[in-house]
Amino acid sequence: MDRKEFRDLASPDDARAAIRSLALEGGIDRVPLADAHGRVLVARIDAELDVPGFDRASMDGYALRARETFGADESDPARLRVVGEVHAGDAPRRALEAGEALEISTGAVMPPGADAMVPVERTDRDGEDVLVRTGLAPGDNVMFAGADVAAGERALGPGTRLTPREIGLLSALGVEEVAVRSRPRVGIVSTGDELVRPGEQIDSTRGEIYDVNSYTVAAGVEEAGGKAVVYPHAGDEQAEMERVLREAADECDLVLSSGSTSASAVDVVYRVIEERGELLLHGVSVKPGKPMLVGELDGSAYVGLPGYPVSAMMVFRTFVAPAIREAAGLPEPETATVTGRMAIEERSEEGRLRLAPVGILEPGPDETSADGEFLVYPVDKGSGATTSLAHADGFVEVHPDTAYLAADERVTVRLFSPAVRPPALLGVGDADPTLSRALDGVEGARYLPIGARPALRRLREGIPDVAVVAGPAEGRTPADATTLASWEREWGLLVPAGNPDEVDGLASLLEGDTRFVNVHADSSLARGLETRVRALADDRGERPRALERAIEGYDLRLRGIESPARRVAAGEADAGVGLRETASHLGLGFVPLGEQPVRVLVNPPRREKPGVGTLEEALERELASR
């Protein structure tokens, strides 16, 4: 199979123009009012009746003739005879005559002959009479027929998005059904033999992963005003991919696929498009997102997104969501973008438009920031890192000629969703079970387990609210950082239940064929292990690196604090580094190697943030229960 090569990359503007040229406009739907929320009217709606349809009392009191109260006051009230009462939903039994009043409830129909009403608070009853202690003018405390909307008036115009306010107005007009713009149907097809739907079993030995894009892109489509239709993922074989894509094209206005758009020999989507439709462009000068496809397939619009979830979402948000909103008649939400200032400098590769994933954070009360501006910090774990979807709030478009974004530079952040809000608390550092339980008590908290040394660096840069450091601080701690809370944790070697290999310390790992698994180098557990290895090497008169190489699997470094333990529990390793609490949680044996202090350090300008205070309270409760 010939490889498809990227040659002349289209500009981002050309990509937008190509997508706009695709026919996404749907027809007209007539929907019941109960289903009309969020939809967009296609025609003007005029009022066919007055709202309200009758003169009604604005409050509880007495209906009367205003002229009979002229000059009345507290010392000289007007005396009127009460001839009955009327409540909301009742019809007045007769018209008022001279010298009469009618007791009336809020919302009730004003009787013929009455042109005003007096609140009950300005009256007194005297047997069959009412004493009115204020003068009234015609129309006082009365809502006349048509005061809300008069029959024949323009109630709502075409292009109006129906929110609860408009739904209420239409209800008042007695409208049962409305004509609205059809939501474009968007078929979503994730491609790749390695994909498995959530809920099914995956085989990691075959490189299988869960399908992320079908669900994230579908949510984006719905939020943009489209109707998402998720299809079974397609494998990398051309006939199967063609079958799924054509089925989607037959049923939808737009087909979005993800993956299989790059220039490798197994990526065949573009071949399907060329054979069954028209390929308008293949490759855009944007990072990430270079392999994007735009074309037509069997008469439907088609856009091919990158396979990596973060890349797919940024390209969707930049190029596809605006086209869906336009087809649905919806404007860009005002909350879809925010302004902020860069917390640190961010370098950028020149030559292509870069979509840089970022997080947003509310500054502390003492930090200098324009009203409504956020702190913006880079979140880049690589385009293939799915967790960036949870850690990033949106992205910044960096111009191809821009070498870097300077610290304090004002930027516009395109949020992944209008519903995105900054975290109540941003913490970084070592992973720890006690901390995790405390964070559960901070609604809207975000924690990035990046390790102690990177956490201290970010704390010096002024990014997080708190940094969590376990073990000795092997990095420069800001002089003005304060400790919010501290505790001790026991660490050591985790082994299968019963310790079948009789591991009793690091020296045991040098004997036999014990398979060991480590954690990433920035973790305090890894640093603690390095210290113990150096001590053992000194005792033996050997070089530390020689001992590290003698431990089978020492350089196998996993990401999570529980990852080595889970390998041991699964029988894939004989020992791993971890915490006693993890061993207890997973039913493993434990060989202690020492204790580590854990400190939660506060970024000084953020000390008074509500989220920091909530974390402090949660930690106090957690530590008191230990």
Per-residue pLDDT tens for 376-415? 999 865 544 555 566 889 899 999 888 889 998 999 999 9
pLDDT value for 49: 80
CATH topology for 12-25+184-328 is Molybdenum Cofactor Biosythetic Enzyme; Chain A (3.40.980)
pLDDT level of residue 196 (50, 70, 90 thresholds)? confident
Q: Percent of the chain beyond pLDDT 90?
A: 57
Q: Is the previous residue joined to 288 through a cis bond, with omega within 30 degrees of 0? A: yes
Positive or negative torsion for Cα 581, 582, 585, 587: negative
Q: Rounded to the nearest 10 degrees, how much is the dihedral formed by the CA atoms of 147, 148, 149, 151?
A: -40
Distance CA 500, CA 307 (A): 44
pLDDT value for 368: 57
For the segment 177-187, the average pLDDT, to the nearest whole number, is 93
Q: What is the second-level CATH architecture of the domain 56-143?
A: Beta Complex (2.170)
pLDDT level of residue 598 (50, 70, 90 thresholds)? very high
pLDDT value for 235: 74
pLDDT value for 383: 47
H, E, C per residue of 276-311: HEEEEEECECEECCCCCEEEEECCEEEEEECCCHHH
Q: Percent of the chain beyond pLDDT 70?
A: 94
CB within 8 Å of 224: residues ≥ 6 apart:
321, 324, 325, 328, 330
pLDDT value for 261: 58
How far, rounded to the nearest angstrom, does the alpha carbon of residue 383 sit from its chain's CA centroid? 19
pLDDT value for 133: 94
pLDDT(329) > 60:
yes
pLDDT value for 289: 77
Q: Per mean pLDDT, which range of 261-270, 442-451, 609-618 is the poorest?
A: 261-270
pLDDT digits (tens, 9 = 90+) for 512-527: 789 999 999 989 999 9
State the chain's mean pLDDT as an integer.
88
The 10 Å Cβ neighbour count of residue 138 is 11
pLDDT level of residue 310 (50, 70, 90 thresholds)? confident
For the segment 123-133, the average pLDDT, to the nearest whole number, is 94
pLDDT(418) > 90:
no
Contact present, 150 and 219 (Cβ < 8 Å) = no
Maximum mean pLDDT: which of 57-61, 239-243, 312-316: 57-61
Contact present, 582 and 494 (Cβ < 8 Å) = yes
Which CATH number among 3.90.1300.10, 3.60.21.10, 3.20.20.70, 3.40.190.290 corresponds to the domain 424-626? 3.40.190.290
pLDDT(562) > 90:
yes
pLDDT(218) > 60:
yes
Check if 56-143 and 334-415 are the same fold. no
Report the top-level CATH class of 334-415. mainly beta
pLDDT digits (tens, 9 = 90+) for 224-260: 999 999 998 887 777 888 899 999 999 999 999 987 7
Cα distances from 544 to residues 50, 204, 492, 535, 537, in angstroms, run 89, 34, 18, 8, 5
pLDDT value for 265: 38
Q: 259 vs 100, which has greater pLDDT? A: 100
Radius of gyration of the chain from its Cα atoms, rounded to whole angstroms: 35
Distance CA 38, CA 183 (A): 10
pLDDT value for 268: 73
Q: Rounded to the nearest 10 degrees, how much is the dihedral formed by the CA atoms of 465, 471, 473, 477?
A: 20
Would you kindly state where each structural domain of the chain is located, as residue ranges?
Answer: 12-25+184-328, 28-51+148-181, 56-143, 334-415, 424-626
pLDDT digits (tens, 9 = 90+) for 442-469: 999 999 898 898 999 999 998 999 999 9
pLDDT value for 372: 62
pLDDT(99) > 50:
yes
Strand pairing report for 277-282 and 346-347: unpaired
Q: 211 vs 98, which has greater pLDDT? A: 98
CATH topology for 28-51+148-181 is Molybdopterin biosynthesis moea protein, domain 2 (3.90.105)
**DSSP string computed for 504-552:** -SHHHHTSTT--EEEE-TTSHHHHHHHHHHHHHHHHHT--HHHHHHHST
The 10 Å Cβ neighbour count of residue 211 is 22
